[in-house]
């Protein structure tokens, strides 16, 4: 891969947050363990992958159906957010080199957006604390487009807000569903290594245009 070409041949960059810019998957691993454990369930091996592209409300609906819970969707979402929000506010940090990489793109005149399944009640304070917010031109949440990341809608909306064409915009994702969804929208895709996606690594490498094992290697 030509790193200079990768950096310079884009008008826009659209980043996922959790697992891509943020080293935050440990938070959700613990939330899943605690939430399901309190209800007498272990976390199934395929659970994280199944919900990775969903927003919180769709994840809650899926969880209710899968485990036969008689609970309200909003109550479950609020419980998850209460379990996670302090960790986002004080403990979640950027993946190694992510801040510097985004700063470099910003300094090169690349327009930058966030496309995330998370909610601003969680990530807003993390963006501010890490300083990433000053480089971000637009933020789109999956819940705003009513389709998960296996569809291109969240990325297309992010590009619309940036004013860039998908073919001149790179989407950075750590999950296969996100890579495939972005490709459906005509975007170039950069897969970012994340341990939770290791079982899909072969397929991710096949589908993505670029692969980032660490942002440090692209500074």
| Domains along the chain with CATH numbers | 3-23+93-218 (3.40.50.1000), 26-90 (1.10.150)
Joined tokens for residue 85: 């929000």
- Residue 191 pLDDT: 95
Write down the pLDDT at residue 6: 66
Q: How far apart are CA 150 and CA 22, in angstroms?
A: 20
- The closest of 122, 132, 214 to 172, measured between CA atoms, is 214
Burial class (CB in 10 A: 0-12, 13-18, 19+), 140: buried
Taking the chain (219 residues) in consecutive chunks of 10 residues, what is each chunk's mean pLDDT? Answer: 64 97 94 96 93 91 97 96 94 97 95 96 96 98 94 98 97 96 97 91 94 93
**What is the model's pLDDT at position 212?**
94
Residue 57 burial (C-beta neighbours within 10 Å; 0-12, 13-18, 19+): middle
- Which residue in this structure is represented by tokens 């613990």? 30
Output the six-digit token pair for 177: 């569903």
Measured between its terminal Cα atoms, the distance across the chain in Å is 14
Report pLDDT for 78: 95
Global pTM exceeds 0.85 = yes
pLDDT at 53 (0 to 100): 86
pLDDT of residue 80: 96
């Amino acid at each position: 891969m030509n790193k200079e070409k990768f950096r310079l041949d884009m008008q826009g960059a659209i980043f996922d947050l959790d697992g891509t810019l943020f080293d935050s998957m440990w938070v959700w691993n613990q939330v899943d363990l605690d939430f399901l454990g309190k209800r007498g369930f272990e976390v199934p091996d395929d659970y994280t992958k199944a919900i990775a592209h969903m927003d919180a409300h769709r994840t809650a609906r899926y969880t209710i159906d899968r485990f036969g819970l008689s609970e309200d969707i909003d109550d479950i979402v609020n419980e998850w957010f209460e379990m996670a929000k302090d960790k986002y506010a004080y403990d979640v940090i950027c993946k190694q080199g992510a801040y510097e990489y985004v700063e470099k793109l910003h300094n090169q005149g690349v327009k930058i957006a966030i496309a995330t399944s998370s909610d601003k009640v969680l990530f807003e304070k993390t963006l501010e604390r890490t300083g990433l917010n000053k480089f971000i031109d637009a933020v789109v949440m999956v819940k705003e487009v009513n389709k998960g990341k296996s569809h291109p809608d969240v990325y297309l909306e992010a590009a619309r807000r940036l004013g860039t064409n998908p073919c001149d915009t790179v989407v950075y994702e750590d999950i296969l569903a996100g890579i495939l969804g972005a490709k459906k929208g005509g975007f170039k895709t950069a897969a970012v290594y994340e341990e939770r996606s290791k079982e899909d690594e072969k397929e991710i490498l096949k589908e993505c245009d670029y692969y980032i094992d660490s942002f440090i290697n692209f500074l």
